[in-house]
Structure 1
Amino acid sequence: MSWGILAPDTVISQRRQQNLGLAAAVRHFNDRAVPGIGGMWFPIPILWSVLAVSIAEELGVPALPVGNAVEARVMLGAILGPPDRRVRGARKMQGLADSSFRNLARCGTYVVQPIRMAMVQPLVALGFVQGSRYGAFRIHTAGRRMLELPVMQEFRRLLGAWAHGGRPHGLDAAIKAFGPGGRVPDEVRKLIRARLLEGEDAGSARRRNLASLGAGPSAAQLESSTPLPGIEPDHWSDLRAGVAFMDLRDAALAVLDRLEQRLLRLRDDNQPVRLSLDEAAKEVAAPLSALRSLASRQGDRIDAGGEATSRGFLSQVRSLPDPGLLQKLAERDATVILWRGDYITLGPAAGESRGGADPDDENRPPASDAFAPQLFRLYNLRCLATELSGRVNPGSRDAAGEVQS
């Protein structure tokens, strides 16, 4: 059996990666806020990945194509059901007749951004696998414990037989039970909850303290320097720094958006699509003033976070004159707005639809005002902790329901 390298079957919008060279800081503050959960907001994808890694070990192949195939198979069993934001690939796999492992493991059969990409960090941080890359994962202690649970063994047997080319009786029913809208079996749910909230390490303590709040912290609550009850001062400082930094980044993107709008108008009017730094500074006077004001008001919070990339960016916003700051922002971007040596112009992603800046956006539940939206993991943790306690996940389409039966 031959295995290829998985690659996107469509080009991901460059706008979605308009990160101003600040991606490391974004990751840092999200991980300081809620360590170890990546983009996970509902727990059943952990099961799919543990099963996939186990099957990959048995087959002697990399785990990545197996993970894609398993996820595609459970999604295929759910795409004809009621709308649910946990279901992916309804358009891509519409009418797909060949549900064999061999076909679903092929490059391009499933979506470009599978949910399993958001599982890399939690699988490792919670002890289910070992390794730094999905393709090289191996089952670890918690993963073995999960696979040993009686409720998992029949599903593992059926998926294993399917991966070996079979069509085992009972697979479709099992796929439905373990699909994206399925109920995590109690034994598995309790195991994941213990790994998420009951450890003795610092990451578990931060997750546990946040989960104990029930709701929040909101952006308004994080304006205060006094922590909410149960949150440690250093954690509170990290949360405040993260929110302030994300706001500063978004204010800088607002400056670039204004420049883009002006340059697009020039293009539509068949005018030279360029602005000198002085012209650009006049065009963005209002959003640039708002950016500097934000740096003045919240800069101390960012400095207190002690993260080098964010502090360097803050220093530029504080100290550079308007033309120099606009040049630096254009250089940082280089996707929507470009610096051409003596003028500002449009980049290759200019004019594209304004999607989220992060490729994981489509994997997330809608935000809640009770949780600071700048740090998406706060609400994701709430969704996880709620479902792992046996109640309906508030991020799912059926969140108005009661305790799961």
Structure 2
Amino acid sequence: MQLFCGILGPDTVGSSRRLRSLGIAGAVRRFNELSVPGLGGVWFGKQLMLALLGVRVSELQAVEGHAVAKMECANAIEALACWLAYRDTGWASDPRLRGRNKFPREHDLKQGPLYSRFRSRGFYVTQPMRMAAGSALVPLGFATSSNRRFNTLQSTAEGRAFLDAALGECRPSNRSMAEHLSQWVQGSPVNVTTGTVVRGLSPCLALPGDALGHLEGRLRAGGANETLEAKSRRRAALAWVDRLRRVPPVVPLTWLDRPPEIQDDRHWKDLEAGARLWLARDAALKLLDTVESRIAHASAERLTLADAVAVVGEQVEALRIAADAFLRMAHEDVDANDFCRACAAAEPVAVLRSLVQRDGRVVALFGNVLRPGAAFRRGTAPAAAGELDSEDTAGEAMEEVGAQVAREIGWPEGMSFRVQNLYLLKLELLGELHMRFAAQDGST
């Protein structure tokens, strides 16, 4: 599975096993940040709450004299939240959850969900929601950090107020949720499978109204050290998706349809330039996929550059057109310009050579001969062997959510996934997001 621009997911392309950045991972992150600063990969509030709860529980453990890494603590709490939600929904697939293909069912946890097990390496997924939410905690003012690494985060008064609003009515054993989970982390015999815990932690249940109000305030105000430009861009994007929710466009939007909410010329240019880059990247990946397929069916799994170019001529031309579209934006991002100039080269062999050298993991170049790389895919072998991580299942469900949003709004071609995520987050602020999931479940 590959995640392309316009689909819910991280700032990179490819599954954890076939990551192909093509040397522009930094440019991708920069353009996504320019589109909606400070949002990370967040598209519903419980992602932020669970990550922040992990930080807070680790802080409580530190007060007790126990050193617990914040990343480990947050991963374990997120795993518990998803495991409880799966258990209560009959293990149905849900884009708001992770770990369905990795978790043991209840009969395998006769001692209960012990922290020592939930924290263990390999128990939960390698790409938890914390990775999408952690980068948003500091910009939105929920936490502070000297370097934004998750283990160095410290909750702020605003972050603790958000947790109180989200979990204040969920008091297992007459304790705050953070205190209760702190006991769990410490290894005390506490019950973390009660309805109260499920109600507070489950990603499938909406945040209380007070917490949603607090979240919207953070989206608008941002953190103390965030730039005025970043705050302004996020507020403008929030106003735009708010209008689109109230008055959906009757025809698909184009890059000529600049919304009145995006008043900064540079912001709109960055949005379009990012989209042009992602469209070029997608065209490059499609070309490489075709080459990979040809190699898989070639004698001895080898193909010369000349032979490869002979069968991908149309795709090379499509890539050149997409790359030219970005270059015409005259954007100053060095990595993006280098990539697109290489993709727009006059000689198809030069284009393919450059792409394979940037890839290297799926298709490798030896002189003028293309051969399988370390992540080469032969037919459907990975899926047939049952090697897909649980992220793949969740990612496929997220793709469908993204497709639904795309059909509903009709975004300009290549629009950053962060704008679509912000649209979904706005639905949650209005109390509509989880209702939509409930309606879909009721129709099946």
TM-score of the superposed pair, with normalisation by structure 2: 0.78
Task: Give SS of 1:78's match.
Answer: helix
The percent identity for this pair of structures is: 28
Aligned with residue 235 of structure 2, among 187, 202, 208? 208
Cα RMSD, aligned residues only:
2.9
Provide the residue aligned with 1:377 in structure 2: 418
Provide the residue aligned with 1:135 in structure 2: 151
Provide the residue aligned with 2:273 in structure 1: 241
Task: Give SS of 2:371's match.
Answer: strand
CA distance in 2, matches of 1:76, 1:23: 32
Q: 1:47 to 1:274 in 2, by over 3 A?
A: same
Aligned with residue 89 of structure 1, among 86, 95, 99? 99
- One-letter code aligned to 1:123: L
Provide the residue aligned with 2:73 in structure 1: 66
The Cα shift of 1:363 comes to 8.1
Task: Give SS of 1:339's match.
Answer: strand
Tell me if 1:300 matches 2:328. yes
The Cα shift of 1:14 comes to 6.2
Provide the residue aligned with 2:122 in structure 1: 108
Provide the residue aligned with 1:194 in structure 2: 217
Q: Is the 8 A contact 2:277 2:323 kept in 1?
A: no
Gapped regions of structure 1 (runs ≥ 5): 1-11
Q: 1:29 to 1:362 in 2, by over 3 A?
A: farther
Q: 1:310 to 1:174 in 2, by over 3 A?
A: same
- One-letter code aligned to 1:250: D
The Cα shift of 1:220 comes to 5.3
The Cα shift of 1:320 comes to 5.0
Tell me if 1:366 matches 2:402. yes
Instruction: Describe how 1:322-361 pairs up with structure 2 within 5 A.
Output: 322-351=348-377, 361=395
Aligned with residue 264 of structure 1, among 291, 296, 307? 296
Task: Give SS of 2:364's match.
Answer: strand
Q: Is the 8 A contact 1:55 1:66 kept in 2?
A: yes
Q: 1:273 to 1:138 in 2, by over 3 A?
A: same
- One-letter code aligned to 1:308: V
Q: Is the 8 A contact 1:155 1:174 kept in 2?
A: no
Provide the residue aligned with 1:124 in structure 2: 138
Aligned with residue 44 of structure 1, among 43, 46, 59? 46
Q: Is the 8 A contact 2:46 2:203 kept in 1?
A: yes
- One-letter code aligned to 2:305: L
Tell me if 1:386 matches 2:388. no
Q: Is the 8 A contact 2:52 2:142 kept in 1?
A: yes
CA distance in 2, matches of 1:285, 1:339: 19
CA distance in 1, matches of 2:359, 2:279: 17
The Cα shift of 1:327 comes to 1.0
User: Any idea what the Cα deviations from partners look like across 1:180-226, whole Å, max 9, x if unmatched?
Assistant: 112212222211111112448322322222222233999953431x5
Tell me if 1:158 matches 2:180. yes
Q: Is the 8 A contact 1:19 1:333 kept in 2?
A: yes
Tell me if 1:397 matches 2:428. no
Q: Is the 8 A contact 1:128 1:139 kept in 2?
A: yes
Gapped regions of structure 2 (runs ≥ 5): 1-13, 62-66
Aligned with residue 160 of structure 2, among 144, 147, 152? 144
CA distance in 1, matches of 2:275, 2:261: 19
CA distance in 2, matches of 1:380, 1:332: 29
- One-letter code aligned to 1:235: H
Aligned with residue 26 of structure 1, among 28, 38, 43? 28
- One-letter code aligned to 1:251: A
Q: Is the 8 A contact 1:392 1:399 kept in 2?
A: no
TM-score of the superposed pair, with normalisation by structure 1: 0.85
CA distance in 2, matches of 1:244, 1:13: 22
Q: Is the 8 A contact 1:338 1:344 kept in 2?
A: yes
